[in-house]
Amino acid sequence: MERFEYAVKLTPADEGGFVVTCRDLPQLITQGEDVADALTEAADAMDEVFAAYMQGGLPFPAPTKVRRGEHQVSPPAETVAKAALYVAMREAGITKVQLAKKLGVDEKEVRRLLDPHYGSKLPRIAQAINVLGHRLVIGLETA
């Protein structure tokens, strides 16, 4: 099962708060006033990094194990669903036009399903993933 969770490191900043980095996603650099704020900012920054990967047609790096002192973070749930669709399409070697045909919709709708900045309905994303032979799984874990 593909998981979209990455280890982030919080480094105390000279001016206070924390600088957040991720060794698996080197583009992710942000900061927060305290640990909770830094982790929230990390998820937001990860959302933007995921958008850049998807818009650039790049594969997502495999997440490495969390090391001592690191925290595991994932982007918002809708972004994770869109990333799952993106990965399923890449694995299937299918284009947006081909997926649109399978779904019986216009290609613009598939573009929206993959656009991290467009609000898509989760059942529609799950349907597209199912057409590609995968299943979208949502879980609940203790933080």
Q: How many CB atoms lie within 10 A of CB 35?
A: 13
Q: How many CB atoms lie within 10 A of CB 85?
A: 26
C-beta of residue 8 within 8 angstroms of C-beta of residue 74? no
Q: Which two tokens stand for residue 53?
A: 């990967």
Average pLDDT over residues 107-120: 91
Q: Is the pLDDT of residue 143 over 70?
A: no
Residues 20-79 have pLDDT tens digits of 999 999 999 999 999 999 999 999 999 999 999 999 999 999 999 999 999 999 999 999
Give the Å distances, CA to CA, from 81 to 51, 60, 73, 85, 86.
12, 14, 15, 6, 9
List alpha helices for 3-76, DSSP H.
35-56
pTM, to two decimals: 0.88
